[in-house]
Chain A
């Protein structure tokens, strides 16, 4: 039930997103290097590599990369 509600909410948000328009001439800010979600991707990857081996959790940073005996 909760999963169905969550998925329905996501579906509604995606529908609303289809109404959004950021015109090409407005993309200077989104295209700037200051705006990626990871900030500076190489620096974010470095921090995530260290943190992932020190916590029992996982997720949100991508699934690529090989395993290691890092415990």
Chain B
């Protein structure tokens, strides 16, 4: 199983990946198809040039006006929740250069993202070095995003409780529509990682990740009922600092030829969201080249300090929470559990090339299901009990 194929310099590698995401919880649904392709060329050993493209094709319906049980109780018989259709297409080309000098690798990447209501320019740089006879690896990376978010122009004298939600993405970019404005969102991300091989069968990785966001972070399309007759655009703080520490371990169990991966992450941010994540994956070869893996993941988070299922009143934890409000279920306390399977087939000829061209070919498929359990998020008092996401992935890679 571990007999190595003859060493070959890979001059070019072409990867393609396709992901299908679907969920249909109460009163909403979302389907996202994400195709992507990447090409990496290594003309000489010390430089690799990469280019790629990814898209998100989004279709569905989401909650556009959020209300809670206290408001519904005061307005019986009325449908206080509104949904709106969502159709969007995001294009994201990217390019990167990787330089190698001795044990050090430098990476620089630029990513552009464009959709009807969002523009993103992202710069990424990273440095990685190996030490102690290549058993230790240190990596430091930094990313900076210069993003623009479309929003509705608000009346000059209005304040946040009077702000109106964005109706649609028409006229967001490229026109001088007076009813459209653009907010900036700056994002700085930093990650430091230490990877260590302790024995031939056991390795660990420890990573610290931090992110600073400054700018418009609300969903401009979503409104929240704040009081009788008062519906306001979602209003999040403009500053957010996020930190996480993650640890992983890889263990190869020789007697049963099984690789086991265990991971854990703790997270906290200045919106008072804390979370813990645990995941485990087991993988083994069925026969030469074909691997099968099974994975599980558990996630639990607390809600943001300004989260409330109903800002109009009710007993705690309902009620107003200061100057910010949100209808985003991802900022509420919830947990999730995920299970998945993955198949990967890797073909590397020991002599010659596949079809006279390829030095190697890999194809993979994965399927995951995630069940979400929201502790407090409801739609006018109706809990979401069928929040389940299905994720299917296909990927292929050819090297030349």
State the A residues within 8 Å of B (CB). 10, 13-14, 17-18, 20-23, 26-37, 39-40, 42-43, 45-47, 49-51, 54-60, 62-71
Contacts and interface: CB of A to CB of B under 8 A. Distances in A.
A54 to B, nearest CB: 6
A68 B113 contact: yes
Nearest to B125: A64
Instruction: Please list the 6 inter-chain residue pairs (A to B) with the smallest Cβ-Cβ separation, ordered nearest first.
Output: A59-B244, A60-B246, A63-B189, A59-B209, A66-B113, A69-B118
Contacts of B243: 59
B123 to A, nearest CB: 9
B267 interface: yes
Contacts of B209: 58-60, 63
A28 B252 CA distance: 12
Contacts of B198: 17, 20, 22
Interface residues on B, range: 35 or more
B265 A60 contact: yes
A54 B393 CA distance: 17
Given A32-B2, A51-B370, A56-B301, A46 B391 contact: yes
A66 to B, nearest CB: 4
A67 B285 CA distance: 37
A37 B248 contact: yes
Interface stretch (B69-77, B132-140, B309-317): B132-140
A71 B330 contact: yes
Given A22-B135, A63-B190, A64-B109, A49 B115 contact: no
A14 B194 contact: yes
A21 B131 CA distance: 11
Nearest to B329: A54
Contacts of B391: 46-47, 50
B176 interface: no
